[in-house]
Structures are given as C-alpha cells and as structure tokens.
Structure 1
C-alpha cells in the first residue's frame, strides 16, 4: 500500500471532463485506488465517487493505492493532479 498527499493544481479541479479522464486513468491500473478529501474516501475508479468529492484547485487530497501497480499508479495520478491545464 502506498499513500500520497497532493495539492491539486488543476485549474477547474476534478469536475466534468477532467474527472472522467482521471477515472479513466485510474481504471487503467491493476491496483485498488482510493481518493480521499476531508476524511471522505471514494473509489478513484468511480466517476460518481470522484465527482461527489467536489475537488477544487488548491485543495489537498490523499491517494491510496494497493496492488501490483501501486507505485506507478500513485506517480501517474499524482502528476495528473499537479497539472495546471489539462
């Protein structure tokens, strides 16, 4: 299991099309992935879950990965959240 805290830099946060791309990316890894904001945890492979967190630019989230590709998943997803434009 790997855990990382990320300060979201995405201009519009994880909303709409960007949330869908994040979920699609998370779903490409052979690992369990959770996204946590303010103590609330959701499956990062669930569009409804990710959008329900209402993650905005400047907010901190935690990503927890567990499985075969946990290291790669956290690195790639963390990088995704650090981009200012997507």
Structure 2
C-alpha cells in the first residue's frame, strides 16, 4: 500500500473549511484512503470525525496511505491539496 507524507499548509490546520475540502477530494477518489499523524493508528480519511480528531495544525506532518488501482494518483492529488493554504483561496 503506497504512503506519502504531507505538511499541513492551511493557517488554521486541518479544521473546518480545509477539512471539508480535503474530505470532498478523498470521496472523489477511486481508492480507500487513510490518514495518520505522529504514528497514530490510520483512520478513514473520508470521515470528518477522523480528520477533526487528528488535531492537525499548520506545519504538522500527516501520513496518507491508499489502497486500490489509482492509489498513487490519489495520493499525489491529496498531498498537493494538503500542502496548499486552503484558507487563502
């Protein structure tokens, strides 16, 4: 299962609007995606409760993993999204 790390670029971290945009992008993927922070157990990246419970702040690093035929493409898109300041748009 491919994995990638991403540094959260949004000023407020992965909360509210950035979390919603990320979850929408995850749900568009043709693959199952998990997210973890600081070695925690991987959680469903399409769940708002999972994302909010991470407590990922600006500058924190998270690990994404994907399983499925389009895993690498999904991870590339999702990492790029997390490394964009979604609050500035």
Given the two structures, how large is their TM-score scaled by the length of structure 2? 0.89
Instruction: Tell me the residue number matched to 1:17.
Output: 17
Which blocks of at least 5 consecutive residues in structure 2 are unaligned? none
Aligned counterpart, 2:4? 4
Higher percent of residues as strand:
1
Q: Which structure 1 segments of 5+ residues have no match?
A: none
Instruction: Give 4+ residue runs of structure 1 displaced > 3 Å after superposition.
Output: none
CA distance in 2, matches of 1:20, 1:7: 17
Determine helix, strand or coil for the equivalent of 1:74: helix
User: What TM-score do you get using the length of structure 1 for normalisation?
Assistant: 0.92
Aligned length: 86
